[in-house]
Amino acid sequence: MGTLLSQNSRIKQEELHSLWQALQQKVDRMIGQLGDKSPHVAPQDTGIYDDMRLDWWTAGFWPGILWIMHDMTGKEHYKEAAWEWDGRFERKMMEDNNFHHDVGFQFLPSAIMKYKVTGDQDGKRRGLAAANFLAGRFNLAGGFLRAWNQEKTGWSIIDSAMNLSVLFWAAEEIGDPRFAHIGRTHADTIIKHFIREDGSVNHIVSFDPSSGEVIESLGGQGAGPDSAWSRGAAWALHGLANVYRYTGDKKYLYASQRVAHYFMAMLPADSIPHWDFRAAESLGEEPRDTSAAACAASGLIELAEALPEIQARPYREAAERILQSLTTSYGTWDRPEHEAILLQGTGNKPANSNINVSLIYGDYYYIEAVAKLMGWKRRIF
């Protein structure tokens, strides 16, 4: 499959169409392989995706892939495979569950995408319920969305940058600016407390939940409190570009660009980041994270679309270099039995969990980025 894309500075349209045909064939096989599974991780040796509970944070990405494929091709079998997922999430919400700050990851690519594509009113209702749920996690004193559940009442994480779109969508959909107020306030907190001057990003910031004062930054899934977790940078880059699209406020555009410049500057020769840009003196020994690469590529395309052509070119070309490298060196094209698309993702290196694996969100953002290059204009996140 390395011949799908050349190594020119720009991907040719005929190459994109060949890649899209290969992706359709891959997703068609995945429909049969995955069945009703809610995939998260596929080990490199077996290539078989696991089956996580429906309130797990990655549960929305597989239906998101299906909805993009349906929207791009009009083929009914993608819609049929995607249709029931948001209903399954809603039923889980009526039971004991662990839904939290990531309801955007679950309901944006399922319920809200379903509504945008088909006009389904149940999808709209479920998307609005998710927005209400997320808004209820807002801490007024600290101006942040609370992360996770249990005892972490004052924790907030950079991942939530990508969940803000559910709030902005709800504000537009029902004409209620309260959702957007919360989204903007949390985005302001990201700029103030998560993004460092050099454009690197904290994963976790701990606040006093009563006073809202910052207590400390925590390494989380990065190498340490002062490290630069690459997927966290991708969440911030893409998420704040989305906030700019919804608000038109250039402070979010500039913040996204600052993170993008750091991300682009720290990439190794093949444009696929190590799991943390500051993990070790010899990064060559550290695992890559193709999920960070795919999410960043989609965010870079989002940035490019927000800017005049002369300013947009470096971001678009960086995105294309990432996608070229993912396609030629990190795909499962020669392994039809493999249930995933991309190899060499890193989930949580500090916990020694899910290293050198396939990750469903890496697959999702790879498809999202390729679809954008092919002219897909509908936006989920």
Number of residues assigned to the chain:
381
Cα separation, 349 vs 334, in Å, equals 27
Catalytic residue (choose from 55, 71, 86, 102):
102
DSSP states of 207-225: E-TTT--EEEEE-TTSSST
Q: Which of 165, 99, 106 is nearest to 133 (CA)?
A: 99
Q: What angle do CA 377, 378, 380 make, to 5 degrees?
A: 135
CB 176 within 8 A of CB 184: no
* Dihedral Cα 78, 83, 88, 91, nearest 10 deg: 170
CB 342 within 8 A of CB 326: yes
Cα separation, 130 vs 207, in Å, equals 24
DSSP state, residue 147: P
Q: Which of 263, 298, 294, 291 is nearest to 356 (CA)?
A: 291
Catalytic residue (choose from 86, 159, 276, 289):
159
Q: Is 102 a catalytic residue?
A: yes
Cα separation, 104 vs 112, in Å, equals 10
Residue with tokens 């490290």, as numbered in its chain = 227
Kindly list the distances between the CA atom of residue 317 and the CA atoms of 220, 277, 288, in Å, as whole numbers in the listed order.
31, 21, 21
Write the secondary structure of 31-43 as one string of H (helix), E (strand) and C (coil): HHHHCCCCCCEEE
Q: Which residues contact 3 (CB under 8 A, 6 or more apart)?
A: none
Q: Is 208 a catalytic residue?
A: no
CB 152 within 8 A of CB 146: yes
Residues annotated as catalytic (active site), given as ranges: 102, 159
